[in-house]
Structure 1
Amino acid sequence: MTPAEFEYLKKFLKDRSGLVLSNDKQYLVESRLLPIAKVGKLETLSGLITSLQRGGNSKLESDVVEAMTTNESFFFRDKTPFDHFNETMLPALLEARARTKTLKIWCAAASSGQEPYSLGICIKEAGSKLSGWRTRILGTDLSLEVLEKAKAGLYSQFEVQRGLPIQMLLKYFDQKGDMWQINPDMRAMIEWRKLNLLDSFSHLGEFDILFCRNVLIYFDQQTKSEILDRLAKMVPEDGYLVLGAAETVVGLTDAFKPVAGKRGLFQRKQSAAKAGVAAPRLVAGAGGSLLR
């Protein structure tokens, strides 16, 4: 692959997915895209890039983007965000939403489904606290392949051993040969949609909690700021944003503030009107609700 071809591929990936490749990632490109070139009978990376440049091959374009976006995930990944959910977000929202008894959560990089299902387990484990409540979890991802896996809720022994306590495995999964499938009640809690965060997502409506972990690290500063500002419009002023351990809103947006002592947890800043300053009220979130 020539330097010019690598530059073309970097621009292609940034335009299509927001992914910013540094110059030292050429080895990663080769390891992930050579198999696609061979399956497509293009033989070499140069042949693959030539085909991309010609245009008109939407499947190849999609395969390249999916191959280069990271889909690593496991149950209760990093643990801390789920502690924040159980100990901070859920108690606050149980009180704030006591009248409507609705809870809406969006996992904006759902990958193969472990994060949304982990949150579903947290909700089930809350038991009587959520009796009579309507809860909905939306999982979105750029990759159709991982979304299909998420919908099926079928995982290998290795996958369920990564972060999932044995008692929860036996409680919420059914064994299918050498695989484990999350039970139908859990699968029914979650709606799956293909979504690119570079595209408009205002039609999804408003969410009480927004998980967007380990995604922004792949974008440049301007793209991060733009996405965070658009995410802020999806969350009410008492709603929450959860980012990855290495991610922050500081220096990127004024729409969120860190929650003191809670790493990776952020909350919408109050508008000027709510803070006691005369100003027009901003209506956050457009479109319909996921709850039907």
Structure 2
Amino acid sequence: MKPEDFDYISKMLKDKSGLVLTRDKSYLLESRLMPLARKRGFKGLDDLIGQLRRRDLALEKEITEAMTTNESFFFRDSKPFDQFRQVVLPNLIKTRASRRSFRIWCAAASSGQEPYSLGMILKEESARLAGWRHEIVGTDLSTEILRKARAGLYSQFEVQRGMPMQLLVKYFKKKDDMWEIDPAIRAMVQFKEWNLLEDLRPLGQFDVVYCRNVLIYFDQPTKAHVLEAISKQMTDDGVLYLGGAETVLGVSSAFKPIPGQRGVYAVARPHEMKSLGEGG
């Protein structure tokens, strides 16, 4: 791929999705875009890029989706789900007792495993949540991956990755060579097409946000922008989950680490900033 073509596509990707690609990732760009070029009927990448330079908005979206990593599996890394069930959920039940409701947002929900994992946890805790209203919102910028998420159909390989056997038996049924999640769990999750770089206010306010393994693809200014925007959509005592390789430290003052809880952060409101700064 010509350097100028790489620069053109990488700038478009950053503008559209926040994804940062360096020159050493040109092989990744080519491997992801060649299938798209064939699907579109182009002879090769040169023709695809030529069409892209004509500001083909549909092609821009297809390229952005092709370059977005959609790696996901049920109860990924387990600890963020164990911590939610053992610490955050009991706290929500205590602090939200007057309104008996809470909302959870899974940003970059991919093919749905993360929000459905949370749905199964809430279903398992249904006795404690009798009379409560809870909502799980899963967002992603990919139309195609959200179609898969809404369908709730997963391969044998997908349900084997992280899924406890007792939950597979309880909440899935075999459908041909796939596994279909229980309609009751599927109904607990509302999927929406959304880009983290866009205005998040229409999504409403959340008590818990999972934004895991997303920030690693952004540069520092974009990370700071996204974290600030997310914080504004959270309750004052809201909880944010990031991926194991991600942190807010040195990136944003919108959140503060929760002591003893790796990868879990509390909202830091403006009136708290000074004291946080003085503390370290």
Q: Is the 8 Å Cα contact of residues 107 and 139 (structure 1) preserved in structure 2? A: yes
Shift of 1:183: 0.8
The answer to whether the 8 Å contact 2:42/2:48 transfers is: yes
Residue 32 (1) aligns with residue 32 (2): yes
- Inter-partner Cα distance in structure 1 for 2:7 and 2:63: 15
1:153 maps onto 2:152 in alignment: yes
* 1:253 counterpart SS class: coil
Could you say what the CA RMSD is over the residues aligned between the two structures, in angstroms?
1.5
Residue 48 of structure 1 deviates from its aligned partner by: 1.0
Cross-structure match for 2:199:
200
Structure 1: distance between partners of 2:28 and 2:273: 48
How many angstroms does 1:273 deviate by? Answer: 8.0
2:50 matches 1:50 = yes
Residues 211-231 of structure 1, C-alpha deviations (whole Å, 9 max, x = no match): 001111101100100110111
- CA distance in structure 2 between the partners assigned to 1:63 and 1:50 by the alignment: 15
Count residues in correspondence: 275
Letter in 2 for 1:173: F
| Change in CA separation of 1:27 and 1:274 when aligned onto 2, cut-off 3 Å | closer
Partners of 2:97 and 2:246 in 1: CA distance? 32
Q: Is the 8 A contact 2:253 2:273 kept in 1?
A: no
More helix by share: 2
- Could you give the per-residue CA deviations for residues 260-280 of structure 1, whole angstroms, max 9, x where no partner exists? 11111000125528999xxxx
Query: Greater shift after overlay, 179-188 or 35-44?
Result: 35-44
Paired residues of 1:84 and 1:265 also in contact (CA < 8 A): no
Map of 1:204-283 to 2, 5 A cutoff? 204-272=203-271
Whether 1:15 aligns to 2:15 is yes
Alignment of 1:165-184 (within 5 A): 165-184=164-183
Give the match for residue 106 of structure 1. 105
Q: Is the 8 A contact 1:174 1:182 kept in 2?
A: yes
Counterpart amino acid of residue 244 in structure 2 = A
Could you tell me how far apart the structure 2 residues matched to 1:236 and 1:274 are?
A: 16
Letter in 2 for 1:117: Y
Q: Return the alpha-carbon distance in structure 1 between the equivalents of residues 244 and 31 of structure 2.
A: 27
Structure 2 gaps, min length 5: 276-280
Structure 1: distance between partners of 2:240 and 2:50: 41
TM-score, normalised with respect to structure 2: 0.95
SS in 2 for 1:236: strand
Q: Output one character per residue of 1:1-34: Cα deviation in whole Å (capped at 9) or x when no partner.
A: 1111111111011011110001111110111101
Structure 1 residue 173, shift from structure 2 partner: 0.8
Distance 1:18 1:105, change over 3 A: same
> 1:108, 1:274 → 2: CA distance?
25
Separation of aligned partners in 2, 1:275 and 1:11: 37
Conservation of the 8 A alpha-carbon contact between 1:113 and 1:147: yes
Distance 1:273 1:252, change over 3 A: closer
1:6 aligned residue: 6
Structure 1 residues 33, 93: CA separation in 2 closer, same or farther (over 3 Å shift)? same
